[in-house]
Structure 1
Amino acid sequence: MAVTKASIVDAALGILDQYGLPDLSMRRIADALGVQAAAIYWHIANKQTLLAAVSDAILSDQRSVDGQISLADWARDLRQVLLSHRDAAELVAASLAVGLCERVPDAAAIALLSRAGWSSPDAERAARAMVHFILAHVMQEQTRQDLLSAGVLQASSEALDEEGFELGLRMLIEGIARITGTPE
């Protein structure tokens, strides 16, 4: 099998889902592909670039924005996309921090807010605030799930469940609507 950037990202996603972000290494990916780690560097410059490519792959599952999606639907969709891969929220947050991603999770929210009349800088700030909430909530959900699976914790946290997410989302969306009169 020829090693390509796509095959490297696919192998990385498999490792991420099975073992988690701490065990996602170039060596482990190379082993999964049956090549030496140096072969990966022909396609991927460094680990940060790899993580950004994996982040892009995860975010490619986001629904595209059309006239029918609401800000709340976008947020719920992003949460589900992140929950579909182990440690995805942490990986996406780290990738956003270094700015190497081709896809950003808030692009659709920016478009929705811009269509509603928000200025470009304010739409970007509001959307990023929502992304920060979603990433943090999902990161805690995923961390807690890992700790429950490992037997470190014995009980779930109601603040980190669906209702907790919906309350935080409602607070953000109602705040956005209050500031500008934007429909929810």
Structure 2
Amino acid sequence: MSPEPNPARHDRDSVARSALALLDEVGLADLSMRRIAAGLDVQPSALYWHFANKQQLLADLADRITASIPRGGTDIVATARGIRDALFAYRDGAELVLSTYALQLGSSQALTALIDALIAQGASDAEDRGTAILHFVLGHATLVQQRMHADSHGALPDTDDVDVTAGLDRVFDLGVTALAGTFSAPATPRRARA
């Protein structure tokens, strides 16, 4: 039996970078600690020097994916697009971030960016609206990434990709705008008929 490799040969950052590269190559379903370790030429147990478990590693990956989200914007649609673009930067990025968000792992960079933009627009219920928009963005991005994956395997009917993409972008903008709503006083209800 060969001795356990030195875990100091790799640091936390190199393990996470290797895992992100493997995510792009094989997708979330096939991203395992064993595969990551094989790519680093170490035993799987060596990874646990840097991450207590796979969920902790996935939370770190989610934080790295969302780290590029622009902060301080005042345009809610642009902020939501920035989040979507960050999710699309990696294969299954939306699914990974969604799964860690559902388990309340990792940071809340995406939600914070949305709340900041909503506050800048005068929303008094920015946290609730930001949460609703984030749920929409995560769901929409996951749907689009699943379609992209199916298309890469020839599982979608032939369509004009430009029209499909433009339609998805319109739906995305409409959803974000609808959830952001208006921040003025609600309309006076109609009077009941006598």
Q: Normalising by the residue count of structure 1, what TM-score does the alignment of the two structures yield?
A: 0.86
Residues of 2 paired with 1:16 and 1:179: CA distance?
46
Shift of 1:176: 4.2
| RMSD of aligned alpha carbons | 2.3
Secondary structure of the 1:42 match is: coil
Secondary structure of the 2:9 match is: coil
Report the equivalent of 1:74: 79
Specify which of 108, 111, 123 is matched with residue 113 of structure 2.
108
After superposition, give the CA deviation of every residue in 1:111-132 in whole Å (9 maximum; x if it has no partner).
233344444xx32211010011
| Amino acid paired to 2:64 | A
**Pairs within 5 Å for 1:137-148:** 137-148=140-151
Asked whether the 8 Å contact 1:59–1:81 carries over to 2, the reply is yes
**Pairs within 5 Å for 1:1-184:** 2-66=9-73, 69-119=74-124, 122-155=125-158, 158=164, 161-173=168-180, 175-177=181-183
| Amino acid paired to 1:136 | G
Seq. identity, %? 38
The unaligned stretches of length 5 or more in structure 1 are: none
Shift of 1:95: 0.5
Give the number of the structure whose alpha-carbon radius of gyration is greater. 2
Number of residues paired by the alignment?
176
Secondary structure of the 2:156 match is: coil
Shift of 1:5: 1.0
Shift of 1:102: 2.4
Residues of 2 paired with 1:163 and 1:118: CA distance?
23
Residues of 2 paired with 1:171 and 1:116: CA distance?
14
Shift of 1:165: 1.5
| Cα distance change on mapping 1:71 and 1:28 into 2, 3 Å | same
Residues of 1 paired with 2:35 and 2:130: CA distance?
35
Shift of 1:167: 2.3
Residues of 2 paired with 1:170 and 1:102: CA distance?
25
Residues of 1 paired with 2:25 and 2:139: CA distance?
22
Residues of 2 paired with 1:162 and 1:53: CA distance?
29
| Amino acid paired to 1:135 | L
